[in-house]
Each structure stands twice: as C-alpha cells, then as structure tokens.
Chain A
C-alpha cells in the first residue's frame, strides 16, 4: 500500500491547457514538498508547505496543502513544453522522524 497516492500517474496535454496533480494520504504530514525531475537528473525542489490550508504560488504553479495536512495539490496554468517532467510529492510524517515518503510520481508531457 502506497502511503502517498499520487494521481494521475501519466498526463499528456497540449500547450496552454491547465492541469492538476493530486497527492493524497490517510496519514498526517508535518510538511510536504513538491519536486520536479527531468530524465537523468535529480529531483529539484519546487516548494515546501507546512501549514494546513496553505497556498503557495510559483509563477504558473499553485500548490495547496490540505486543511488536515493529509493531502496536497499542484495546479499548473497554461502549461508549456518546458513543464514536461516527473512531478513528485514527498511528505514527512509527524511520526517518521527524518524519513521523507515519496508519492509514485506524475509523468507530465506537454505537447507543443
């Protein structure tokens, strides 16, 4: 059983479309991070959310942390081909110490 359920796993859209990626769990997280990874490279941190209900914006990307700190979403507005990559959510549970739990990832392809 995956602790962090990420959906969808694969997403292929046209340039200019909007999309949302979800990260859900039955566990409470003290913090949750979103990463973007390109082939052959390590994940790059996009944002960290720590407060329930928190919303953070990074240009065309909007991140939200659920009120109960069990889920999060990433919304991309007007997607561009440069947004193509593997998006990973990762959370640190209140009971797991330093361990970061990763979701399965969402492979996003934005076609020109």
Chain B
C-alpha cells in the first residue's frame, strides 16, 4: 500500500511557541491531504482538508489562524500550530489521497505535548 510519513513523531514544546508538522506521501502524488486530531481512546476529528496549490478548507470550530496548513506540492503538506498552549496537546494525524482513488492512507501521527 501507499506510504505516508510524518515528522516529527513526537514533539514537546513550551507554551507560546510554534510547532510545524510535516506530512509526506512517499510513493504517490497526493492531490488531497487531510489533517486530523485525536484524543486518547477517541476517534479522529477532521480539522482541515487541503488541496495542492490552494487554500485549506477548515472544519467548523477550527481556527485557521492558529492551525496554519500549507500544501505546496503534491507530496508535502505542513501543519503549523501557532502560539501553542497546553490544550493543543494531542495526537495529530495526516492522511493523503491520490489521484482517481477514494482510499486515504494515514501517516503514523505526531504526538504534541505543550508544557
């Protein structure tokens, strides 16, 4: 199956700093990438959908100025958590979908801890 990577896998930062998470599709071109947030023992919550070369579409309740998404190429999307606070601590997962397919492949996730 298709491979999606995320970097870093874990990050600990101080409150007020910004953190960037990268999501890469390694062996296919991802026209659409999705960013999710997941709390322990819960399902995935979609934060935003991004298409290569265009602005991301954010879900209701997700602050676009706080969670900056860039999808500059067909293999890379980034999520930047700006001015992070402890309540932003969570497991962030990206997924990618290629051309002419319904299947989404997920990255391994990034554990963000804000102190």
Contacts and interface: CB of A to CB of B under 8 A. Distances in A.
Given A45-B1, A45-B105, A99-B46, A107 B93 contact: no
A102 B49 contact: no
B42 A42 contact: no
Nearest to A6: B43
Contacts of A104: 42-43
A88 B44 contact: yes
B43 A88 contact: yes
Interface string B42-62: 111010010000000000000
Given A86-B41, A100-B34, A43 B106 contact: yes
Interface residues of B, number: 24
Interface residues of A, number: 25
Interface stretch (B71-79, B81-89, B107-115): B107-115
A104 B103 CA distance: 19
A30 B43 contact: no
A16 to B, nearest CB: 25
A42 B102 contact: no
Nearest to B6: A42
Contacts of A102: 43-44, 46
Interface stretch (A33-41, A63-71, A73-81): A33-41
Interface string A33-61: 10100001111110010100000000000
B79 to A, nearest CB: 14
Given A99-B49, A103-B43, A105-B43, A42 B107 contact: yes
Given A42-B93, A100-B34, A30 B102 contact: yes
Interface of B: 1, 4, 6, 32, 34, 41-44, 46, 49, 91, 93, 95, 97, 102-109, 111
20 contacts: A6-B43, A30-B102, A31-B102, A40-B91, A40-B111, A41-B109, A42-B6, A42-B93, A42-B106, A42-B107, A45-B1, A45-B103, A45-B106, A86-B41, A98-B97, A99-B49, A100-B34, A100-B95, A102-B43, A105-B43
